[in-house]
Amino acid sequence: MRVTVRQRRERLVARHLLSGGAQTAEQAAAAVVALHGTDPATVFLAAGARLAAPGPEPVERALYAERTLVRMTGMRRTVFVVPSELVPVVHHSSMPPIAARERRSVLKALAEGGGWDEAWLKDVEASVLRVLAEAGEASASELGVLEPRLRERFRVAVGKPYEATHSVGSRLLPLMAMEGLLVRRGRPSGSWVDGRHLWGLAPEMEELPAAQAQAELVRRWLAAFGPGTEADLKWWTGWTVTEVRRALAAVGAVQVELDEGAGYLLPDDLDPVEPGHVPEGAALLPALDPTPMGWQARDWYLPAGHRAELFDRSGNVGPTVWWDGRVVGGWAQRADGEIVWRLLEDVGADAAAAVEARAAGLAAWLGDVRVTPRFRTPLERELSA
């Protein structure tokens, strides 16, 4: 069975809700498995691009009131916002080996930079858990007052060009989150673009064998992003090839032919998508949106000639303009709030009008909020200047 580029784009538009239509923030997140959360604004902008009635309120309600969305460290040490039922799947599929490596790194740095050993670190951890059990939620600075050892500082990479000073808290709190002990669950002190979230104790988590969790995550990824290749999944998850292949076998993935070679679909998802099944649609997706970051091989939706303008040197995608299931340009917000955009190819007057309408809608719900991507790209910098 062959799946054409046209069919893949039709699937993408429909399943990633690029024409809008999500009724809730939870639905928007589930459509792409998880929202990237490294840049706080991405969570709201990515959900907003998919919501029928965009705005920060649905996302804030899900994150901070109902807690049906959870911010956590996941695949590739990336911060994601995931539906609450997916938390154990993401954690047990990916985090134990990452957390184990990070703990070894933290212990080595503390021993070399401060002379502290494992017993000392465990005592500080236990204190943090006790403090949060009493306080409920606290910022990193508040925790430093309640547990002063978190404010202890130490040097790393002494004598090297990248020598730096870290606080114990800056290394320990993220480590405890990787281990499933803490979550960044509280409303930030500023607006929704603020990244200073409050820390809290992680809720109890269902225990899952790693292989079972990996199979479920691959099932969700194929349902949203399929068809995709082994290389796509290895890149997205950060797993080994062996783990990817085991998970594909566990879900009964069916091999299909793509332009890049062998791809995979779920066994109940083999019906062909006819051209024109999904209407053309414009979308303005934010930096680090999960759609452009969902595959390693991107030629079928992102022309190679556009990448220098739309990615930074570390491979982080900036704000993108989409039409008909592919990237056709980029956008930015200026200091006065105006949303400006540029097409990198000629897609016709109808597409330009649709992009303009989307830009006006985005400016309207952003209002007085100003968004600057954490990782800036050449086109975003130029447009926002």
**Is 136 found in the same domain as 110?**
yes
* Final residue of a structural domain among 149, 178, 201: 201
Counted domains in the chain: 3
Beta bridge partners of 51: 22
pLDDT the model gives residue 34: 98
**Is 117 found in the same domain as 50?**
no
Using the structure block, give the residue that is written with the tokens 């926002």: 384
Percent of the chain exceeding pLDDT 70 equals 98
Angle at CA 73, nearest 5°, toward 67 and 76? 145
**Is 161 found in the same domain as 233?**
no
- Residue range 296-335, pLDDT digits in tens: 999 999 999 999 999 999 999 999 999 999 999 999 999 9
Q: Which amino acid is at 135?
A: A
- Residue range 129-153, pLDDT digits in tens: 999 999 999 999 999 999 999 999 9
| Average pLDDT in the chain | 94
Q: Does residue 73 form part of some domain?
A: no
Q: Which domain holds residue 348?
A: 8-66+280-385
**Is 219 found in the same domain as 319?**
no
The more confidently predicted of residues 189 and 330 is 330
DSSP 180: T
Q: Does residue 129 form part of some domain?
A: yes
- Secondary structure class of 302 (helix, strand, coil): coil
- Residue range 97-111, pLDDT digits in tens: 999 999 999 999 999
Angle at CA 26, nearest 5°, toward 134 and 15? 150
Q: Does residue 42 form part of some domain?
A: yes
What length does the chain have?
385
Query: In Å, how far from its chain's centre is CA 119?
Result: 34
pLDDT the model gives residue 280: 67
* Residue 196 banded pLDDT, cuts 50, 70, 90: confident
Cβ-contact 341, 329 below 8 angstroms: yes
Cβ-contact 318, 310 below 8 angstroms: yes
* Residue 19 banded pLDDT, cuts 50, 70, 90: confident
- pTM as predicted: 0.94
